[in-house]
Structure 1
Amino acid sequence: MTRRIVRAGLQLAIFSVVVFILVVFLDNRYRVLPQAIHNHLPAHHPGFVVTDVTVITCSSINPFSSCTKDGPNWHRINEDLYLGSGYVSKAYLHVRRKKEDTLESHEEIVLDVKVGRTTPQDTTDNPLSKDERWESRPAGIWVKLSSKRHMGDAAKLITGVDVLFGPDAATRGPALATLAKPTPRIRKDGKFKIMQAADLHLATGLGKCRDAEPPLSTPCEADTRTLQFIESLLLSEQPDLIILSGDQVNGDTSLDAQTAIFKYASLFASHKIPYAGIFGNHDDEGSLSRAESMAIMDGLPYSLSTSGPSDIDGVGNYVLEILGRGSTTHSALTLYLLDTHSYSPDERHHRGYDWLKPSQIEWFRSTSQSLKRKHKEYTHIHMNLAFIHIPLPEYRNPHSFNIVGNWTEPPTAPGVNSGFMDALIEENVLFVSCGHDHVNDYCVPGADKETKEPKLWMCYGGGSGFGGYGGYGGYIRRVRFFEFDMNAARVTTWKRLEAGDTEKRWDLQTIVDGGKGVF
């Protein structure tokens, strides 16, 4: 709760390597990391090679000072390396690129880019050849130049450069000719597991820990600790799909939100796990709007995120279909992901947070109705579920049902009840799970408005990120899992903790059996 990059079109690159220069001006450290995840860069152009890289500094108060590089073929990466914090200065990375087949005999190409105070040392396994050398550039940048042509050599060519910030950011590696979306499918054993990573709160740089429990004897780096926790669960639980239920980006500390996005995207891609995200109230408080962030997310490997219909409120209202096992094209699970927006548009009358709009609810109803006929063709019991960021008003438990888990703070649901709970029940959604309130991790039934009988489960993911608030009364960061057994149409859920008994499945409960809620 507590609180631009424009995606280029699909590149048909056959051989290319995309390099990200990671810069931290605040502590004068720079780094280039070895794994690439993103091939849709504004600076990436198939058929071109990079021939030089430099940094140009200019005055932010002198109108005659220009942060541009004279000469043909130079292009500026529009990321101020000072992130707007330079009192009188700005600095921009400039890249010179040309088509390789137009290079003149005396022109060299860049084979590598590194950042540091001393000349990079090449390994004995890959020593410098006689036609290669390292040259220094401003801001601690080193470029490896070669006079030799490398047509078709994907391991050598660099075709694009972009800027990320922080020693823990992503990445470098081969660009892809195509970027196919993965197709999630029920496993051969009839099971499927979803990991809900709520409220990562990743920053530009390492981030600051808030309310870290348990405290460590060494300085706490929020993003490092968060991502290590998430990765440990990827290894131990091996989920089939990750749902990011909002506030992936810690807005007020993400001067470059693109960097924060790449942190989790790089982690998930390295484990080859599909993921889908929606937004919270902090994701667009950094350098990117919701639409700009989604444009990046939509083009990343293993990402199933998409903006959804443009004619309804919000960004990120969409459906994911999980196909049945084997080669069937029929859906076994349908996930509805909706944008719950940010803060109340009418603070005078309705303080707090925004609410789902009629256009979204109508879209949900019509989409659900349009899919029903197809879902009946599935040979087992088809199941529907939903994910949002801000909890619904019914999370306040007006009927005093028993809860499973921790209710540590009052649910910060919106003051307006727009009726989405009723729509979920009418469309036979079996559970909805949210984030937003970091120290709540309970599940509670939601009731039919007429009979007052429980009809679906409402769950919290529990806060996972150390950049957001937490730790109330020793509360430990956690992540919720949902496991589906399609053989019995059963859903079980539990949480895993970052510290303490980290192997235990906390509050393990069956919430659906035989395709019906268990209350």
Structure 2
Amino acid sequence: MTRRIVRTGIQLSVFSVFLFIIIVFLDNRYRVLPNAIHSHLPAHHPGFVVTDLTVVTCSSLNPFSKCTVDGPDWHRINKDLYLGKGYVSSAYLVVKRKPEDDLSAHEEVVTDLRIGRLQPSSVDPTAKDERWESRPAGIWVKLSTKRHAADMVTGVDVLFGADAVDPRSNWQVQDLSLFLDADRDSAEPRLTVRRGPALKVEKPVPRIRKDGKFKIMQAADLHLATGLGKCRHALPEGQPCEADPRTLDFIARMIEEEKPDFVVLTGDQVNGDTAPDAQTAIFKYSEMFARHRIPYAGIFGNHDDEGNLNRAESMAVMDGLPFSMSTAGPEDVEGVGNYYVEILGRGSTSHSALTLYLLDTHSYSPDENHYHGYDWLKPSQIDWFRTTAQSLRRKHKEYTHIHMDLAFIHIPLPEYRNPDGLSHVGNWTEPPTAPAYNSNFKDALLDENVLLVSCGHDHVNDYCLPSLGRDKKPALWMCYGGGAGFGGYGGYYGYHRRVRFFEMDMNEARITTWKRLEWAETEAALKQRVDEQIVVDGGRVVTGM
């Protein structure tokens, strides 16, 4: 009996030890341990780090030539550094990167990167004792086994042009372009480098100001390029003009003078035929908004996807940028960029005061034989809009004031041709290039109590036109933003680039709109609000006619 008890006790002891080992193993694997135990681990979440990079070239005349580097850790940045203008040659940046957890104890990583003809240690006394290695195209990399989270290079990308900027957190564009024998008319390639871990981008939360007001700037048809761009129809004539710097200077001045709370980009931000690298063009406006810390949302026009990125790829870039509220929208709805933005009431309320609907009007007619010209909003989009508006209605009633809805598109609706024969306010300089087919989106806007819709596309139209509801009373305003960018057509008949503003006064449920000019004969005219009018008062469309 005693032996059985002893034997059982030994078995229990062995089992207890075994169970204890399992518990400790699982605890160490899954439990967050105290900082003292974690002190030997990196002080950040480990990710990919760059261990090397180079530039490879290939020739279209040599079938065995390839612009790649063999090896599992090498990744090519798929942008021809010559932008397709290298005659028979192409060149690509190839980056070697590995997960930080996979690095051996003494494996080197890239801790700095510079561009120049001379070794950095020969021109920078602070770099005298550092180890630099040369790579093609004037690249110098500093390699080290010392791994500090803030110093390690974790990403390298390529942008183009002397005006290239990078809005992404902890990314920086190199001062000098790569040394390549490129076409002088091409935008020179520049490297942009990220140090430290990739940072998560939080979406902003736009809100009505303390005074109960909210101002939106609509910037239509920026037509930005890869590189400085060439001005079209710039006024005054005969003066030097670089399209993109002048366009961006104009938008920045409007932000500083008008102090809008939100920016809506209504398409053709990118000038497809002059933007072989659309990412560079997108980064220009997004860096400006990030610098001014202003939230913005964008939709596409008919030129945005004529460069190297399609709509989905462009939206993926836009969606991940600071202060951007742009998003692709539901996958089962036609187009890319059908979504809405809620503007919350003032203070700390979670209730929406304004809803902005943004929809993709596509590009060119899918049926030229029957409907010449441009595309139209599709049934799936209109159904999505109706369903969304109706699903939000009950929640919007919880707002303590009158909730208001606005919509933004790129291509105008057929009703912009003014079938009701009503008076308009502003410039009607060219025939509205609305689609020939009417999918009746205007009826959906009326049914869901949207008070105003504004578009871009026709650069030298900037009018606002009332439209009648089913009771034959004005029930919807249809406006144009007016062309803002110098990379697109404009400027004839004395028309100057401009942007449109909408100011919402939620105390009165009032919407006032006006335009501002890029250039005028006098300083007083340049500061003037053009065609200022109240379009909504007490939550209802008013015409003042």
- TM-score normalized by the length of structure 2: 0.82
Do 1:46 and 1:159's aligned partners in 2 also have CA atoms closer than 8 Å? no
Contact 1:15 1:157 in 2 (8 A): no
Contact map agreement 2:74 2:97 (CA 8 A) in 1: yes
Aligned to 1:474: 494
Partner of 1:57: 57
State the match for 2:24 in structure 1: none
CA distance in 1, matches of 2:164, 2:268: 18
Find the counterpart in structure 1 of residue 89 from structure 2: 89
Distance 1:393 1:96, change over 3 A: same
CA distance in 1, matches of 2:320, 2:101: 29
Tell me by how many angstroms 1:189 deviates. 1.1
SS of equivalent residue, structure 1 residue 511: strand
Query: Residue 288 of structure 1 aligns with which residue?
Result: 309
Deviation at 1:150, TM superposition (A): 3.5
Which of residues 393, 396, 420 is equivalent to 1:375?
A: 396
Contact 1:131–1:146 (Cα < 8 Å) also in 2: no
SS in 2 for 1:151: coil
C-alpha distance after superposition, 1:454-504 (max 9, x if no partner)? 111110000011110001112111110111111111111111111113211
Q: Which of 338, 343, 346 is the aligned partner of 1:317?
A: 338
1:141 matched to which residue of 2? 139
Higher helix share: 2
Q: Tell me the CA shift for residue 308 of structure 1.
A: 0.9
Instruction: Provide the identity percentage.
Output: 70
Amino acid in structure 2 at the alignment position of 1:142: W
Aligned to 1:261: 282
Aligned to 1:511: 535
Q: What is the identity, as a one-letter code, of the residue corresponding to 1:250?
A: N
Answer yes or no: is 1:497 the counterpart of 2:521: no
Match of residue 485, structure 1, among 505, 511, 515: 505
Q: CA deviation at 1:122?
A: 10
RMSD: 2.2
Matches within 5 A, 1:209-288: 209-215=231-237, 217-218=239-240, 220-288=241-309
Give the match for residue 165 of structure 1: 160
Q: 1:128 to 1:85 in 2, by over 3 A?
A: same
CA change 1:495–1:420 in 2 (3 A) is same
CA distance 1:321–1:129, shift in 2 (3 Å): same
- 5 Å-filtered alignment, 1:444-463, equals 444-448=465-469, 450-463=470-483
Distance 1:67 1:46, change over 3 A: farther
Q: 1:486 to 1:104 in 2, by over 3 A?
A: same
Secondary structure at the aligned position of 1:429 is classed as coil
> Residues 104 and 427 (structure 1 numbering): CA distance in 2 closer, same or farther, change over 3 Å?
closer
| Alpha-carbon distance between aligned partners in 1 of 2:43 and 2:466, rounded to the nearest angstrom | 54
Hey, what's the Cα distance between the residues in 2 that align with 1:46 and 1:205? 35
CA contact (8 A) 1:131 1:148 kept: no
In structure 2, relative to structure 1, the CA distance for the partners of 1:439 and 1:115 (3 Å cut) is: farther
**Structure 2: segments with no counterpart, 5+ residues:** 1-41, 173-194
2:360 to 310, 330, 339: 339
Deviation, structure 1 residue 135: 4.2
Q: Which segment drifts farther, 91-100 or 338-347?
A: 91-100
Identify the structure with bigger relative contact order (alpha carbons < 8 Å, sequence gap 6+): 1
Change (3 A) 1:431 1:71: closer
Once the two structures are superposed, what CA deviation does each residue of 1:98-136 show, in whole Å capped at 9, x if it has no partner?
Answer: 455665677543333333445559998xx6245425544
Where do 5+ consecutive residues of structure 1 fail to align? 1-13, 17-44
Larger radius of gyration: 2
Distance verdict in 2 for CA 1:123–1:139, change over 3 Å: closer
